[in-house]
A and B are shown apart, each in its own frame.
Chain A
Amino acid sequence: MAAAPSPADHPHNGLDAPDGPVQRTKVLLLGLRRAGKTSILEVLFNQLPPKQTFYLETTMRIVKHQVDTVIPLEIWDTPANVTAENLGAPLSEFSSIIFVIDIRDLYNQPISKLVEFILAANKAKGDIPIEVFVHKAEKLQEEDKIENYRQINDRVLDRLIDIDPDYEHLNISFHLTSVYDHSLHESFSKVLQKLVESLPFLEGLLNVFCANSQSPKAFLFDIRSRLYVATDASPVDSATHNLCCDYLQMLNSFGPLYKSITSGSSRQRPATQTPTPAASSGPSRSPSLHDSAAGSQSSDAPISPGPPKKHPKELFYPSAATTLHPVTPGTTLTYHLITRHLALLAVLPTSVYESRRGLLEYNIVFFREGIQEICDVEDEVRDGG
């Protein structure tokens, strides 16, 4: 099946999806009836308001969702009676298995099913990551939540060790999730990161960016799903992640709101105008800056430059910044579009943002070049395969 270009808000940016079939990374979504599998997909990828998941109907057959994040995914939503045998594809084809358990469901059934799949997956291909979403976590008070989470965790591992002590070392991660808060986004981000082969390179560029821009935290977000694909080496604190996620959501909603039918998208034309006099204190997105960075970066790039890029260079990339009180010392959150799918969200001291805009813009250009190159290489591998 052809990869449908995502219905992006900016069709003119020349970065259209490739025409041919692409190789999609397969993710299997498992769990009992009403565990919340379909809700998770709808909330993450179709912007369904969490409250509306109440009206979703039970999944009766396997549904394959093609989702275009930074990497093309194919997520299989399954009915509860699916087994490794009647799945219709060998487990080894999947790059990740997500198992959803209702946090109040401490009975044998879901755990047996989960263990059964873990064993089958291990037999098919040893290293498939198993992600257990202990779901609907918001339903319980803090104490019960931790207790049930721990119990589910222990029972699964006990059962596995009973079968074979070696299974202690299987690649299983547990996550507390709920469609009603950011835990779902944060957990699914971690699942996605394991699927992105170039992750170390992306992280490397983020680390360089943070060090050069005095940014305490930066995320590379997949714009539409608001999952982060990579972040710098400093620890992720949930509050900062949540704020960045909400900021991105606001910007995503703002974009189309003031789109004018008559004025067209004039951004695509080269900027020939001279800046307005009042703007002299500010930075400018001058094309020359772009070029100079392009020239200087290729030797440092983590991946050697491949054949000429198929993506024409943009003259304009959307950006945004928001400042929080107190204004001094103060925090600024910046947003910069990096590729068709990705945006850089960075936390900066407001003083740095205001006094060193030029340097920041320079670092962004450098960062963008690097990320685009990595993504081009990944895309090519998939197109060819």
Chain B
Amino acid sequence: MKKKVLLMGASGSGKTSMRSIIFSNNPASLTSRLGATIDVEQNHVRFLGDLILNLWDCGGQDAFMDSYLTSQRATIFQHVGVLIYVFDIESREAAKDLEYYRDCLEGLRQFSPNAAIFLLVHKMDLVRAGREVTFEKKRDELQECSPELSLSVFGTSIYDESLYKAWSNIVHTLIPNANILSTHLSTFAQACSATEVILFERTTFLVIATSSSSSSRPALSSTNGRTNNDARQSDNPANTLDPTRYERTSELIKAFKHSCSRVRGEFHSLEMELWDFTAVLDEMTKNTYVLIIVHDPSIETAALKLNIRMARRKFEELQGDSLISS
């Protein structure tokens, strides 16, 4: 299954930078060496099992934009699964950016009316004061441009975890039946006496599903009746954990993976027994990693590793199913 993902926005807004960080494991510090993208750079990324992302990184200089909207119009805007439009918060040509954005929406309406749309208000790190207010103002402005759409707008920067939050949300919409994965993750979490279990895509380390996410998705609330002997389940400590933990974990592991790649190899697995929790991060399937967080001090990492080994086959099957059944 292939999904076409359009990455658009003004030249210098940061499209190629984020692509290279998320999909090529480059560090943010090296993005300043990137040149302007000429025309469209296409990349195929095998994301999860049979899901292939076909990324179109569209160079944002005016001449290219004009041609996307005219002679290349059909090529660009047909069969689009997701449009990601990037706005540089410090842009000196905000009015022009908006105009191109409107024109692109029009193209999308014409050729791919069902495409999902994500707007990234990017380079938020450059805003020194009043980040929140600046972001909200920009978001309202973008909403005004397209009142009929319900927009997903994220403030992002390549220098912190916000980039991972935005992209995890984007890919989440591309994974059919991610909710089924969540249900199985919560069962797995119970088997491990875990507070939480998180599933990551292997190369990007974007979050695919978590054991906690099923409770925030109303459609799955029926599965909550299965709690066995553990009474604590109802006030799961996961609810009190740092709300930015998923994207920060992605960022931390990606940074460490990069460190490993500079030395003697590739990151493989991690286990920790820290003051407040025990955790194991290990391969789950060919394309995924799993992180198990346990607050019960009697559980040892060896037990968690064994549980992962035993759950592998089930998750390989599930992963195949969840993609085919779409």
Which A residues are closer than 8 A to B by beta carbons?
Answer: 9-10, 13, 49, 51, 180, 239-240, 242-243, 246-247, 250-251, 253-263, 265-267, 269, 271, 273, 275-276, 278-279, 281-284, 316, 318-327, 330-331
Contact = CB atoms under 8 A, between A and B. Distances in A.
Contacts of B265: 324-326, 331
Contacts of B260: 243, 324
B273 A250 contact: no
16 contacts: A243-B260, A247-B256, A254-B272, A255-B276, A258-B293, A259-B241, A266-B296, A267-B276, A279-B306, A281-B302, A316-B297, A322-B256, A322-B268, A323-B270, A324-B264, A331-B264
Given A239-B262, A323-B269, 8 more contacts: A239-B264, A250-B255, A257-B242, A266-B296, A275-B300, A278-B306, A324-B268, A330-B268
B116 interface: no
Given A250-B255, A258-B245, A331-B265, A279 B277 contact: no
B194 to A, nearest CB: 11
Contacts of A325: 265-268
A257 B251 CA distance: 12
Contact of A320 (B240, B252, B272, B302): B272
Contacts of B293: 258
Interface in B300-314: 300-303, 306-307
Contacts, number: 150
Contacts of A326: 265
Nearest to B302: A282
B152 to A, nearest CB: 25
Nearest to A322: B270
Given A250-B255, A253-B248, A273-B298, A260 B267 contact: no
A254 B302 contact: no
Contacts of B273: 318-320
B320 interface: no
A250 B275 contact: no
A260 B264 contact: no
A267 B245 contact: no
Interface residues of B, number: 48
A284 B240 contact: no
Contacts of B216: none
Contacts of B256: 246-247, 250, 322
B195 interface: yes
B263 interface: yes
B235 interface: yes
B17 to A, nearest CB: 14
A169 B303 CA distance: 59
A265 B275 contact: yes
Contacts of A259: 241-242, 276-277
Contacts of B238: 260
Interface in B243-298: 245, 248-249, 252-253, 255-256, 259-260, 262-277, 279, 293, 295-298
Q: Which of B245, B271, B274 has the most CB of A within 10 A?
A: B274
B236 to A, nearest CB: 9
Contact of A49 (B159, B252, B263): B159
Contacts of A263: 195, 237, 276, 295
Give 5 nearest A-B pairs by CB, closest first: A282-B302, A273-B298, A246-B259, A325-B266, A279-B300
